[in-house]
Amino acid sequence: MLVRTKVATISPAETEGVGKKRLWTMAHQDALIGYLFILPQLAGITIFVVVPLVLVFWYSLHEWNVLAGNFDYTGLDNYRQLFADPVLPEILRVTGIFSIGLVAFNMSLALLLAILLNQKLHGIILFRTLFFSPVVVSLVAWTIVWGFLLQKDGGINGLLAVIGVEGPNWLRNETSAMVSVIIVQVFKNVGLNMVLFLAALQNVPGELYEAALMDGASRWQQFLRITLPLISPTVLLTAIITIVGSLQVFAQIAVLTQGGPGTSTTVLVYYLYQQAFQFHLFGYGSTLSILLFVIVAILTFAQWQLRKKWVFYEA
Amino acid sequence: MTKTSRSQMMLATLSLLGVLGVPIGLERATAQESISLRVTVWTGNKAHLDLFNGIAEAYTKAHPTVTVAFDTLPFENYTTTLTTQIAGGNAPDLAWIFENSAPDFVNSGALLPLTEILKSTPNYDVGDIAPSALALWQRKGEVFAYPFSTSPFGVFVNNDLIQKSGQKSAGEMLSSGSWTWDKLIEAARIVNAKTGKAGLVVRDFDYKGWDNLATIWGGWNARPWSEDGKTCGFDKPEMAQAMSFIHKAVFNDKAMPEPGTAADFFAGDAAMTITQISRASLLPKDGFSWDLLPLPAGPSGSYAVIGQAGIGVFKNGKHPEEAARFLAFMTNPENSEKLAQFFPPARQKLLKTDVLAKTNPLLKPEQIERVVIKGIATGEVKPSHTGFAQIQQLVRAGLDQIWKPDADIKAGLTAICGRIAPLLAR
How far apart (Å, rounded) are the C-alpha atoms in residues A53 and A169?
40
3 state SS of B391: helix
Residue A300 has pLDDT above 80, yes or no: yes
DSSP B21-65: GTTTT-PPPPTTS-EEEEEEES---HHHHHHHHHHHHHHHHHSTT
Q: Which residues of B touch A55 (CB under 8 A)?
A: 13, 19-20
* Whether residue A310 sits in one domain with residue A168: yes
The parent domain of residue A252 ranges over 77-314
Give the count of domains, chain A.
2
How far apart (Å, rounded) are the C-alpha atoms in residues A61 and A73?
6
Cβ of B32 under 8 Å from any chain A Cβ? no
- Whether A85 maps to a domain, the answer reads yes
- Average pLDDT on A272-282 reads 90
Q: Which residues of B touch A268 (CB under 8 A)?
A: none
**Cα–Cα–Cα angle for A268, A274, A277, rounded to 5 degrees:** 125
Cβ of B180 under 8 Å from any chain A Cβ? no
Q: Which residues make beta-bridge pairs with B149?
A: B309
Cβ of B108 under 8 Å from any chain A Cβ? yes
- Whether A157 maps to a domain, the answer reads yes
pLDDT at A287: 97
* Whether residue A90 sits in one domain with residue A44: no
Span of A20-29, A220-229, B115-124, B214-223 with lowest mean pLDDT: A20-29
Cβ of B387 under 8 Å from any chain A Cβ? yes
pLDDT at B28: 44
pLDDT at A188: 94
pLDDT in tens, A63-98: 988 887 788 999 999 999 999 999 999 999 999 999
User: Measuring CA to CA, which residue among B95, B22, B106, B92 is closest to residue B388?
Assistant: B106
Q: From the list B2, B105, B261, which residue is nearest A153 (CB)? A: B261
How far apart (Å, rounded) are the C-alpha atoms in residues A196 and A110?
9
pLDDT in tens, A167-186: 899 999 999 999 999 999 99
How far apart (Å, rounded) are the C-alpha atoms in residues A269 and A163?
38
* Whether residue A89 sits in one domain with residue A38: no
How far apart (Å, rounded) are the C-alpha atoms in residues B417 and B426?
14
Domains in chain B, ordered, with CATH? 19-151+307-381 (3.40.190.10), 153-303+386-425 (3.40.190.10)
* Whether residue A162 sits in one domain with residue A126: yes
Residue A109 has pLDDT above 80, yes or no: yes
Q: Which residues of A touch B258 (CB under 8 A)?
A: 152, 169
Residue A4 has pLDDT above 70, yes or no: no
* Whether residue A17 sits in one domain with residue A125: no
CB pairs under 8 A between A and B: 138
pLDDT at B14: 42
- Whether A68 maps to a domain, the answer reads no
DSSP code for B200: E
DSSP B311-363: EEEBTTSS-HHHHHHHHHHHTSHHHHHHHTTTS--SBGGG-SHHHHHHH-TTS
- Residue B4: count of CB within 10 angstroms of its CB: 17
pLDDT in tens, A240-271: 889 999 998 999 999 999 998 999 999 999 99
Question: What residues have CB less than 8 Å from B116, skipping those under 6 apart?
Answer: none
B residues 329-368 closer than 8 Å to A (CB): none
The mean pLDDT of chain A is 88
Span of A18-32, A123-137, A247-261, B220-234 with lowest mean pLDDT: A18-32
A residues 241-260 closer than 8 Å to B (CB): 241, 244, 248, 250, 258-260
CATH number where A218 lies: 1.10.3720.10
Contacts 24+ apart (CB under 8 A), B351-357: B351/B130, B351/B376
pLDDT < 70 stretches in chain B: 1-32
* Whether residue A42 sits in one domain with residue A86: no
* Whether residue A95 sits in one domain with residue A207: yes
pLDDT at A20: 53
**Type and span of the H or E element at B293:** strand B290-293
Percent of chain A with pLDDT over 70: 91
- Whether A32 maps to a domain, the answer reads yes
B83 and A65 in contact by Cβ < 8 A? no
pLDDT at B145: 96
**Cα–Cα–Cα angle for B419, B425, B426, rounded to 5 degrees:** 105
- Whether A281 maps to a domain, the answer reads yes
- Whether A214 maps to a domain, the answer reads yes
* Whether residue A26 sits in one domain with residue A92: no
- Whether A65 maps to a domain, the answer reads no
B6 and A274 in contact by Cβ < 8 A? no
Q: From the list B18, B20, B83, which residue is nearest A67 (CB)? A: B83
pLDDT in tens, B34-71: 999 999 999 998 989 999 999 999 999 999 999 999 99
* Whether residue A301 sits in one domain with residue A207: yes
Per-position b or e across B236-272, b if 16+ CB within 10 A of its CB? bebbbbbbbbbbebbbebebbbbbbbbbebbeebbbb
- Average pLDDT on A271-297 reads 93
Say if residue A261 is preceded by a cis peptide, omega within 30 of 0. yes
pLDDT at B360: 78
Q: B383, B100 in Cβ contact below 8 A?
A: yes
3 state SS of B400: coil
Q: B231, B197 in Cβ contact below 8 A?
A: no
- Whether A70 maps to a domain, the answer reads no
pLDDT at A21: 56
Q: Which residues of A touch B398 (CB under 8 A)?
A: 262
3 state SS of B82: helix
* Whether residue A116 sits in one domain with residue A187: yes
* Whether residue A156 sits in one domain with residue A213: yes
Axis-axis angle for helices A88-117, A232-247 (nearest 10): 140
* Whether residue A96 sits in one domain with residue A54: no
**Cα–Cα–Cα angle for A133, A137, A141, rounded to 5 degrees:** 140
